Structure 1
Amino acid sequence: MKTFLENPAAWLDGKGPAAEIVISSRLRLARNIVRMPFTCWAKEKYLREIISLIKDAIKNNAFLPNATIVDLEQADSLIRQFLVERHLISPEHAKSKIASVVIGDKESVNIMVNEEDHLRIQTFSSGLQLNAAWDVISKIDDRMSEKIEYAFSSEWGYLTACPTNVGTGLRASVMIHLPALSITKQIGKILQAVSHLGLAIRGLYGEGTESSGNLFQISNQVTLGRQEEEILDNVEKTTQKIIHEEQSAREQILKQSRVQIEDRVYRAMALLCSARIISAQEVMELLSAVRLGVGLNLLNIPIKILNELLISVQPAHIQILVEDQQSPIEKDMVRARVVQKKIMEGMKNV
């Protein structure tokens, strides 16, 4: 796992459209293999056969060169949590016994094997780039379908374990940072409006998780009866509207409460640069304030650095970094040093 620690995922580079507010775009396709029971009903021999079939299918796949395959059966709880923190597997997938994950170059593409469905193909892009991500994932899906026969109905579309995924099997989501809407207490109204548009609002690691550092995931809820282009267009247009509302809220707080906002931003920056002990949750909240400061032109730190810190300060990442058993206080001390080293690195490059 140290190779992953030393090489941040490409989608964290902060170079995509609207990257100050939208951290990433993610597409996921749910697929199942014909004449195989769904994962939740499958006996061990079928689960192992599914893994074998998918391993064969990715051989010589141009979109997965030098792919890394992690066998979750051989992975302890620390490695599983590490993969969750990098968004390579879901919290539910981390609980699976006979499962694996295929990780592509720079973590832009990965395949969860034997999660809720046999395959969950994922692509990640920096900023708001749903259509670009679709170009990639559709080609990967086509290539996989040449090697594996999918469970498909001419009437219902792709067949999935959960009815909400039947049809295209496509989940389009964006990870978005909304601090100004939270400060102005408009976030509840915005999220309610989003849900009325048929979209779901989830926490940092998806379904069943909480928001942290004013980060939310917004995605479509259903796929049946919708074309892929329609799903992408709905999520894209809704995200654009939310970006507009966040930008308006930023202008409002800067106009009405400039000193207080500057104080919030500069305090957060000072704590990140000076703290000797810091928890993962505190880092997330402070990074939110600093990221807001960058968006308001109060600070000049590369978004790439802030994005990478969102991942590298998480508990499993710190535990792998220190290797041996240490007390919670000692881990928080290591986290503080990680943050300060990364920020110093970023400041040198501006």
Structure 2
Amino acid sequence: MEQIDPDALTQLEEEYGKFMNTNSHSLLKKHLTQEVFDKVKHRVTAEGATLHDCIRSGLANPDSNIGLYAADTESYILFQELFDPVIDEYHGGFGPSETHPKSDFGDPSDLGDLNELGDYVLSTRVRCARSIEGYPFNPLLTSDQYTELEQDVEYALENLEGDLGGKYRSLSEISSEEQEELLQRHLLFKQGDRFLEAAGASRFWPEGRGIFLNNDNTLVVWVNEEDHMRIISMQYGGHIGEVYDRFVRAVTILSDNLPMSSSERLGFLSFCPTNLGTSIRASVHIHLPLLGRDRKTLEDTAAKFNLQVRGTSGEHSEAEDYVFDISNRRRLGITEIEALKEMCNGIKEIIQLESRMEEGSSQSRKQSH
């Protein structure tokens, strides 16, 4: 096994020592004990990834929740003494002897519309991350590999037809004004996320990066943002069945035309360990003015269904006007359709709770008059 360069090892040891003296509550700090650190600090993957490549974002950002990224697919194996306990804890129990089930997208028509009780859900999206075999992840991608990978994905996107058909454009072809407009509409990713930048995900920007949009902007594919690909299906309202159907058809076609990185144990492999397994994040933007004032009840209800609550501008953002982004937290150890159903059941429970609170508030106002 290749060993880390002595100077690089000295830097890693110094940064690790400083980090362990911070007030971080990240899973990185919790699980990268001195024993684990000493065991894996010398290792280097065949692509050249070191432990430092995997943890440098967490070292630079002690306020990270996770603090850990895989620099290539082999990182999950070579640094498993660190990755395995982080994966186990984040995904709610997935031990080192467990394996991810085979894909099962199920029947999208079973999911229906989440807004049966009223127009609480403003928009719905289902997305997944995909990595292309033969390429490392962001920290190790060369400038040429970024460009080559973009071309591979662009060719595959030409197979999307009918309601899935659209156009791919490189970021360098899109004006700053149009990029800002797409950002405001939550259609485009942006540079500047400090967690990703520290992880080495923003090098050579905007080279090799771009966006595919179908003709009615309900299918989006991001190229070389955090992962090689982000495939996103979305629309206004709460009809999760329609959104998921479009997503499944697009993912199936792209998977038929590109070799996706996966492992028998961890399912689809991604840059961040939170996106392993199905790699699916099904989410809604939902207006909850009453539960929004009772954040503990909202969080407790979401937790029962393994849901994550955050602001509408993504992780680490605040909710505005009591509009929340709520999504499934578990992606590993369950099938795609199981992840979707867990999310749907949780959202329905939250809507019912908000509805009951509205009725109680209305009755209180009547009685006060």
TM-score of the superposition, structure 1-length normalised?
Answer: 0.64
Unaligned runs of 5+ in 2: 1-112, 194-201
- The aligned residue for residue 173 of structure 1 is 283
Give the whole-Å Cα distance in 1 for the aligned partners of 2:305 and 2:192.
28
1:54-203 map, 5 Å:
54-63=153-162, 67-75=166-174, 77-91=176-190, 96-98=205-207, 99-182=209-292, 185-195=293-303, 197-203=305-311
Give the whole-Å Cα distance in 2 for the aligned partners of 1:195 and 1:158.
24
Give the SS at the match of 1:121.
strand
| Alpha-carbon shift at residue 74 of structure 1 (Å) | 4.0
- The aligned residue for residue 53 of structure 2 is none
- The aligned residue for residue 30 of structure 1 is 129
Superposed CA offset, 1:13-67 (max 9, x none): xx97346101122100110100111134311111111111111111141256552
Flag the 1:16–1:92 CA change in 2: closer, same or farther, 3 A: farther
Give the SS at the match of 2:138.
coil
| Alpha-carbon shift at residue 230 of structure 1 (Å) | 1.3
Contact 2:283/2:328 (8 A) holds in 1: yes
| Alpha-carbon shift at residue 93 of structure 1 (Å) | 8.3
- The aligned residue for residue 334 of structure 2 is 226
CA RMSD of aligned residues (A): 2.5
Flag the 1:215–1:34 CA change in 2: closer, same or farther, 3 A: same
The answer to whether residue 342 in structure 2 is matched with residue 243 in structure 1 is no
Give the whole-Å Cα distance in 2 for the aligned partners of 1:38 and 1:142.
22
Give the SS at the match of 1:131.
helix
Runs of 4+ displaced beyond 4 Å:
63-66, 91-96
Instruction: Give the AA of the match of 1:244.
Output: Q
Unaligned runs of 5+ in 1: 1-14, 261-350
Superposed CA offset, 1:218-255 (max 9, x none): 11123111111111111101100110111112122222
Flag the 1:181–1:258 CA change in 2: closer, same or farther, 3 A: farther
Give the whole-Å Cα distance in 1 for the aligned partners of 2:323 and 2:225.
24
Flag the 1:30–1:259 CA change in 2: closer, same or farther, 3 A: farther
Give the SS at the match of 2:119.
coil
| Alpha-carbon shift at residue 258 of structure 1 (Å) | 6.2
Instruction: Give the AA of the match of 1:97.
Output: P
Superposed CA offset, 1:172-211 (max 9, x none): 11111001333xx323321233135422111112222221
The answer to whether residue 312 in structure 2 is matched with residue 213 in structure 1 is no
Give the whole-Å Cα distance in 2 for the aligned partners of 1:130 and 1:110.
16
Flag the 1:93–1:197 CA change in 2: closer, same or farther, 3 A: farther
Give the SS at the match of 1:172.
strand
Give the SS at the match of 2:290.
helix
Give the SS at the match of 1:179.
coil
Give the whole-Å Cα distance in 1 for the aligned partners of 2:181 and 2:192.
12
Give the whole-Å Cα distance in 1 for the aligned partners of 2:192 and 2:182.
10
Flag the 1:192–1:81 CA change in 2: closer, same or farther, 3 A: farther
- The aligned residue for residue 328 of structure 1 is none
**Number of paired residues?**
244
Give the SS at the match of 1:107.
coil
Percent identical pairs in the alignment equals 27
TM-score of the superposition, structure 2-length normalised?
Answer: 0.61
Give the whole-Å Cα distance in 1 for the aligned partners of 2:159 and 2:339.
31
Give the whole-Å Cα distance in 2 for the aligned partners of 1:34 and 1:219.
28
Instruction: Give the AA of the match of 2:138.
Output: T
Superposed CA offset, 1:74-103 (max 9, x none): 445543332222111234588752210101
Superposed CA offset, 1:144-164 (max 9, x none): 112111112122211111111
Instruction: Give the AA of the match of 1:46.
Output: Q
Greater helix share, structure number: 1
